[in-house]
Chains A and B, each alone.
Chain A
Amino acid sequence: AQSVTQLGSHVSVSEGALVLLRCNYSSSVPPYLFWYVQYPNQGLQLLLKYTTGATLVKGINGFEAEFKKSETSFHLTKPSAHMSDAAEYFCAVIPSGGNKLVFGAGTILRVKS
């Protein structure tokens, strides 16, 4: 079965520093790829997704992610962290031929002032 691995359950960065949240998937056939964000006491919100085409995907709030087939990865980055980016981030996939999201365990991002 398809699985999604997020390296690091907690990541801490200083305000203004680079944000890098890692995501790897297990399938040899590339799935559709998503990043969702959950702010405290809220539901999940879509940040960005990759389906086909350009492998560098830009999302909301300055985030972007790059699909790398050779590394089976879809890491999320932001050049400069803001305090408002503190949240939990989930990588998710829809396996090839499937129609349901499979989520990773989540990474809690802390931004230090």
Chain B
Amino acid sequence: DVKVTQSSRYLVKRTGEKVFLECVQDMDHENMFWYRQDPGLGLRLIYFSYDVKMKEKGDIPEGYSVSREKKERFSLILESASTNQTSMYLCASRVAGASTNEQFFGPGTRLTVL
């Protein structure tokens, strides 16, 4: 059974804190993605990684960075959390090759920044 796990389901942080969101997949997928989900806006791509140590900006990278040191783990970092980063964050992974390969999603982390 394929699995994408995220370190926390719910997280509450204060403005200015450094925040780490962790994602782990057990499918040996090369591609990994971070999205944020907001009501009325759907999912928007923050960053993605084609493979270990490779990363590329998505549509809304401002205020975020990522790290991919191991194939199975993709971390999203909020260097200095702000209230407008309160959102649901979803991680996904996909086997390399065709862009139409299915993305598998984790359950999400609901982050609240106070």
Candidates A41, A43, A46; contact of B102 at CB < 8 Å: A46
Interface centre among B4, B58, B103, B108 (most CB of A within 10 A): B103
Q: Which residues of A contact B58 (CB under 8 A)?
A: 100
Shortest beta-carbon distance from B9 to chain A in Å: 8
Interface assignment of A42: CB less than 8 Å from any CB of chain B: yes
User: Interface residues of A, CB < 8 Å — how many?
Assistant: 22
Q: A9-B40, A105-B42, A106-B42 are in contact. Are A45 and B105 (CB under 8 A)?
A: yes
Tell me the complex Cα distance, A41–B108, Å.
Answer: 8
Interface range, B side = 20 to 34
Interface centre among A45, A51, A100 (most CB of B within 10 A): A100
Tell me the complex Cα distance, A103–B92, Å.
Answer: 14
Interface centre among A4, A92, A94, A103 (most CB of B within 10 A): A103
Q: Which residues of B contact A4 (CB under 8 A)?
A: 42
> What is the interface of chain B, defined by CB distance below 8 A to chain A?
4, 40-45, 48, 58, 90, 92, 99-100, 102-108
